Structure 1
Amino acid sequence: MEVWRCWVLVVSFVVLVQTLGIKCCVRQEREALLNIKTYFQTKYNDSMVNELLSSWVTNPKSDCCTWNRVKCHLLSGRVSKLSLQALNVIRSTYDEYPFPKGDLADVSIDFSMFQNFKELTSLNLSQGGFQSLENTTGSCHF
């Protein structure tokens, strides 16, 4: 009889998790996202990155699964899709958002920034104008 109760408890928990999903992101992935934001702020146009990634905040109570350009897996809470499209477009003061008119920055992107995302299935780097790819860790984790 005790085994039956455990079985019912496990099945109930699985149904509950599948129904409600997990509503938060993994701490390491949240920190990795903030590091990516800092990387783009340093390499590219600070004000545009701040505008496009304004929801990416350091407040520990902020759920990165609700941030712009981030999608998480419903059950695991891990980042599954990430869009970093057109973050390095340099704009003049008379250019209008969201139509990129400026030149693209001549920079590379370091793929080691994405190694903490264990369930990342979609990474959008289009319109990035990256001139090269780097991997500072020396190994690929994808």
Structure 2
Amino acid sequence: MADFRSSVIIHKPISEVFHYMASMENVPELMPNVVKMEKLTEGPIGKGTRFKESRSVRGNTVNADIEMIQYIQDQAFTTRSNSNGLITEYAYAFHEIEEGTQVEMDAFVKTSGLRMKLTKRLIVKMIKREDGFQLEYLKEMLEGKKEDS
């Protein structure tokens, strides 16, 4: 069972939505704490593609290795990040619907070590606060809507 999940409908074609997300170069626009995403492997993006993520956490830069562990063009992809024993997997599913594209995300957080296992609930809460709104940001970016506050 996912530690948290999200879903959104975007009024754009599935191929456009999938490409925007799967390219990974747009991650800093969708996850504000991510300051840089660098592709480490050659060739087109697919299963096995690796990235280096740099993220700002409480004023410090934390790096994580990201790997595309599943990739089905215009349907689904899953990324796995590993940062000092904290493994986070984001599984994205894309569905063509009458209004455009429905995107669903399931997030899985795996901890290792006694200290992390004991604080997993707090870790999940922190990750959800940092990354939980990425689909809403995706919708804003692709539909050109910015909240007027």
Q: TM-score, normalised by structure 2?
A: 0.31
Q: Give the structure with higher Rg (CA).
A: 1
Higher relative contact order (CA 8 A, sep 6+): 2
More strand by proportion, 1 or 2? 2
Q: TM-score, normalised by structure 1?
A: 0.32
More helix by proportion, 1 or 2? 1
